[in-house]
C-alpha cells in the first residue's frame, strides 16, 4: 500500500486528512480512488491503515481501519556529519533515515567545501527534511530523524547534549576498532550504550584541531579499517555497524 505522511501537529486519529501536497500526489500521480486503502504515519511512531473516504485536492479524508504503534529502536544514534560537496549530503540523509538514525547533525568543518549562511541553513534543513520524509515513506520507517541546525564543531559541542558514548571516525594512529570500543564500554558500564554520537568528517577529514576538540569533549577515535573511505561511505558504514551491534 502507498504510504503518506501527516505531521504530528496535524495528526488527528479521528479525522485523518492528507495535506494538499500529499493529496495532489495521491490523486494526480498515483490516481487513487475512493475505497482504496493507504497507510499514513506521523513520524513519531504511529502508523494507520486507512480507507480513502472522500477525494479532494485540498485534503483527502481518510477513514481509520487499524492503528499500530512502532516502538523506538533500542539505541538513539546521532550522526554528526560534516557537510560534503555536491549532492552527497542528500544521499547521507536518505540512508541515515533508512538505517535508523535519531538525529542528523550537519557539521560545518574548516574543510567543508560548502559554506552555509543563516538563510541557506533553513533552506537546506527544509530540503533535507523532505528527503527524510520520502525515505521514510519508501522504507517503512515510522520515526523521523531530527535534522539539526548546521553548526561548527565547537558550536555543536557547546550545546552540551549528553551521550552514553561519543565516537569520531579517525585516520589517526590512536584510532581503535568500533567493536573493541563497544566491548570496552559494556565492560565498564555493564551494558551497551543507549545514546551514541558518531562524528564523520568531510573530504580530507576533520582538521587536527577539530579532532583534538572532539577528543577533549569525550569522543573516542575509531578506525573504519585499512581502506580510506569516502565521507558518504564512512557515515553509512558507521551507522550500519552501530545498528548491527546496538539494535
* pLDDT tens readout for residues 109-140: 988 877 777 678 888 999 999 999 999 999 99
Share above pLDDT 70 across residues of the chain, in percent, rounded to a whole number: 100
Domains defined for the chain, CATH in brackets: 3-69 (2.40.240.20), 76-246 (3.40.1280.10)
In this prediction, residue 113 carries a pLDDT of 74
Q: Reply yes or no on whether the pLDDT at 90 is more than 90.
A: yes
Share above pLDDT 90 across residues of the chain, in percent, rounded to a whole number: 85
In this prediction, residue 56 carries a pLDDT of 81
In the numeric block, the cell 560537496 is attached to: 85
Residue 34 grid cell: 475512493
Going by C-alpha positions, the residue among 173, 168, 178 that lies closest to residue 210 is 168
| Contact status, residue 75 vs residue 41, Cβ threshold 8 Å | no
Per-residue pLDDT reduced to its tens digit, 21-38: 999 999 999 999 999 999
Count Cβ atoms below 10 Å from residue 225 Cβ, excluding itself: 10
| Contact status, residue 156 vs residue 201, Cβ threshold 8 Å | no
Per-residue pLDDT reduced to its tens digit, 137-187: 999 999 999 999 999 999 999 999 999 999 999 988 899 999 999 999 999
Place 204 in a pLDDT band, splitting at 50, 70 and 90.
confident
Mean pLDDT of the chain: 94
Going by C-alpha positions, the residue among 131, 127, 76 that lies closest to residue 100 is 76
Amino acid at each position: 500500500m502507498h504510504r503518506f505522511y501527516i505531521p504530528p501537529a496535524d495528526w488527528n486519529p479521528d479525522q485523518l486528512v492528507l495535506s494538499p501536497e500529499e493529496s495532489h500526489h495521491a490523486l494526480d500521480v498515483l490516481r487513487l480512488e475512493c475505497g482504496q486503502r493507504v497507510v499514513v504515519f506521523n513520524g513519531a511512531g504511529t502508523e494507520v491503515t486507512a480507507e480513502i473516504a472522500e477525494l479532494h485536492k485540498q485534503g483527502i479524508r481518510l477513514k481509520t481501519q487499524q492503528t499500530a504503534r512502532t516502538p523506538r529502536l533500542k539505541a538513539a544514534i546521532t550522526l554528526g556529519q560534516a557537510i560534503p560537496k555536491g549532492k552527497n549530503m542528500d544521499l547521507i540523509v536518505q540512508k541515515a533515515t533508512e538505517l535508523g538514525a535519531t538525529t542528523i547533525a550537519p557539521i560545518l568543518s574548516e574543510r567543508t567545501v560548502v559554506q552555509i549562511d543563516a538563510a541557506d541553513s533553513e533552506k537546506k534543513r527544509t530540503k533535507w527534511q523532505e528527503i527524510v520524509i520520502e525515505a521514510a515513506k519508501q522504507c517503512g520507517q515510522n520515526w523521523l530523524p531530527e535534522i539539526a541546525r548546521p553548526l561548527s564543531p565547537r558550536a555543536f559541542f557547546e550545546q552540551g547534549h549528553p551521550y552514553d558514548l561519543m565516537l569520531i571516525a579517525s585516520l589517526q594512529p590512536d584510532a581503535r576498532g568500533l567493536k573493541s570500543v563497544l566491548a570496552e564500554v559494556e565492560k565498564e558500564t555493564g551494558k551497551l550504550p543507549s545514546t551514541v554520537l558518531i562524528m564523520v568528517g568531510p573530504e580530507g577529514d576533520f582538521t587536527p584541531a577539530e579532532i583534538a576538540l572532539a577528543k577533549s569533549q569525550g569522543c573516542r577515535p575509531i578506525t573504519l579499517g585499512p581502506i580510506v573511505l569516502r565521507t558518504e561511505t564512512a557515515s553509512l558504514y558507521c551507522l550500519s555497524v552501530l545498528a548491527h551491534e546496538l539494535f
